[in-house]
A and B are shown apart, each in its own frame.
Chain A
Amino acid sequence: MTATTDELLGRCVTSWSPGARGIANVVRLSGGASQETWSFDVVHPRGDFGAILRRAPEGYGAAPERAAGLAAEAVLMQQAYQAGVPSPRVLHVLTAEDGLGTGFIMDRVAGETIPRKILRDEEFAAARPKLARQLGKVLADIHGLPLSQLPELRRMTAAAEIAELERDYRAFSGPRPVFELALKWLRDNDPGPSENVTLVHGDFRHGNLIIGPGGIRAVLDWELAHLGDPMEDLGWICVNSWRFGEIDKPVGGFGTREELFAGYEAAGRSADPARVMFWEVMGTLRWGVMCCGMMQRFRTSPERSIERAMIGRRSSETEIDLLRLLAPRT
């Protein structure tokens, strides 16, 4: 962070945290050109506390097509928090006076997001058997947020999603018979628009869930939130790519679909296993197409990121998973 941005952040903090003396331990966590995540501590006489800044720097206001936008993300996070969804408290929404671009500042929630630790470390042994059911309830609560209070979001259907995936696949990759098979299957098995249209988180999976020894602590990253079939979220978290080797535990490598559905239904909503399976196929193809997109970005961006290059070579993982779903050998 340049000195100026650091100063701006320090000044901004005193505007919403009365008595704050400044900031410390500023670290950039991640982010590409359009979105950044920073961690810092607010120095306060009544006790320092951790905070996260999520922002698009000035000049990067335009959100990519799929993104809900940071302003919408902040509103969704506030509403989720108020509805009892485990969620960081939003402390401040950036204003033009802050000079920090668009975005917001939220509580830093302690816990783990790294899948291999969550799935293997002793610290989470007691959480693992409970997680799928807990996440079912969390999703039910997200899907229960009143539509009338939501910010403006994209309305998506399976048919629109298939068309987008097809367009992206053809833009990013040469011919792939397995992807073609999956697209054909999706078109032939599209269950039609959902009777039930709700808020969909859009990226509910490892990496966006903060886990502690007692289970779920916070849901992050509402960037892909939209309105649509709630079963999409249940299917996405079952995609094999998020099982990290624990392939017999479909929900994030820690639980069963039945546990996920039981938690969802205990919270008063009903799960539709056939639709969930449809969205799992869609999600598997979607991640595969995203891997192809990473390859394209590697090839066209001056950065030459080895990580992106290698994610490009993971699209074949989704091909074997699609075959396991659509053409099982036994």
Chain B
Amino acid sequence: MQDDPTPGELIAAAADFLRNDIMPQLSGHSAFKLRVTINALDLVTRQLMLEAGCDAAELNRLSQLLGKDGSLVELNGELADRIARGEATLETPGVADHLWQTTLDKLAIDQPNYGSYRRERDAKLD
């Protein structure tokens, strides 16, 4: 067992330092690159918080949908093949819901400010 702080806390502290102390000192291309770097660290922070829950739920949905067990990569490969062959379609019960939920969970980590994600997330809450 490793000591605290957790990886998430360390990365968030590093991102805060870059954002609050270094960013104001830069301009031009360096400022742009630092912004991208901070975005990457923020993404990692979100992934550390959310990934385990999302992955477990995705695996569970895939097993139910496909009627078999396997790893996330294997089951995603199986679903992809069935979609390509026309055996799984948007009319197949559970497919559309699964694709939507999986995609929303990815965006919550990748780009929570993306316009269409915010629209769909907020619509879901209504």
**Which of B80, B86, B115 has a CB less than 8 Å from the CB of A245?**
B115
B39 at the interface (CB under 8 A from A): yes
Chain B residues with CB below 8 A from A245, complex form: 115
- Residues of chain B in range 73-98 having any CB-CB distance to chain A below 8 Å: 73, 76-77, 79-81, 83-84, 86, 90, 96
Question: B125: shortest Cβ distance to chain A, in Å?
Answer: 13
Contact digits for B12-50, partner A, Cβ 8 Å, 1 yes 0 no = 000000000000000000000100110110010000000
Question: A281: shortest Cβ distance to chain B, in Å?
Answer: 14
Q: Take A178-B99, A240-B116, A316-B106 as given contacts and tell me if A326 and B90 are in contact as well, using a CB distance cutoff of 8 Å.
A: yes
B80, B102, B117 pick with most chain A CB within 10 angstroms: B80
A246→B115 contact, CB < 8 A: yes
A178 to B37: give the CA distance in the assembly, Å.
28
Q: Summarize A's interface: helix, strand, loop or mixed.
A: helix
A316→B103 contact, CB < 8 A: yes
Q: Take A306-B40, A314-B110 as given contacts and tell me if A320 and B104 are in contact as well, using a CB distance cutoff of 8 Å.
A: yes
A184→B86 contact, CB < 8 A: yes
Contact digits for B98-122, partner A, Cβ 8 Å, 1 yes 0 no = 0110111011001100111101100
B119→A310 contact, CB < 8 A: no
A310→B39 contact, CB < 8 A: yes
B90→A324 contact, CB < 8 A: no
**Which of A181, A310, A314, A329 has a CB less than 8 Å from the CB of B120?**
A329
What is the interface size of chain A, counting residues whose CB is below 8 A from a CB of the partner?
Answer: 32
- Residues of chain A in range 148-200 having any CB-CB distance to chain B below 8 Å: 174-181, 183-184
A177→B83 contact, CB < 8 A: yes
A116 at the interface (CB under 8 A from B): no
Question: B91: shortest Cβ distance to chain A, in Å?
Answer: 10
**Which of B79, B99, B123 has a CB less than 8 Å from the CB of A323?**
B99
Nearest chain-B residue to A307 (Cβ)?
B36
A96 at the interface (CB under 8 A from B): no
Q: Take A176-B80, A320-B120, A326-B90 as given contacts and tell me if A310 and B40 are in contact as well, using a CB distance cutoff of 8 Å.
A: yes
Chain A residues with CB below 8 A from B36, complex form: 306-307, 310
Question: A297: shortest Cβ distance to chain B, in Å?
Answer: 15
Chain B residues with CB below 8 A from A175, complex form: 73, 76-77, 79-81
A299 at the interface (CB under 8 A from B): no
Q: Take A177-B76, A177-B79 as given contacts and tell me if A319 and B84 are in contact as well, using a CB distance cutoff of 8 Å.
A: no
A319→B106 contact, CB < 8 A: yes
Nearest chain-B residue to A243 (Cβ)?
B115
A310 to B68: give the CA distance in the assembly, Å.
34
A247 to B90: give the CA distance in the assembly, Å.
24
A-B pairs with lowest CB-CB distance, top 3: A175-B80, A175-B77, A247-B115
Contacts A/B (CB < 8 Å), 23 sampled = A174-B73, A174-B77, A175-B76, A180-B79, A180-B81, A181-B83, A183-B84, A184-B84, A240-B116, A243-B115, A247-B116, A306-B33, A310-B36, A310-B39, A310-B43, A316-B110, A317-B107, A317-B114, A317-B116, A319-B106, A326-B90, A327-B90, A329-B123
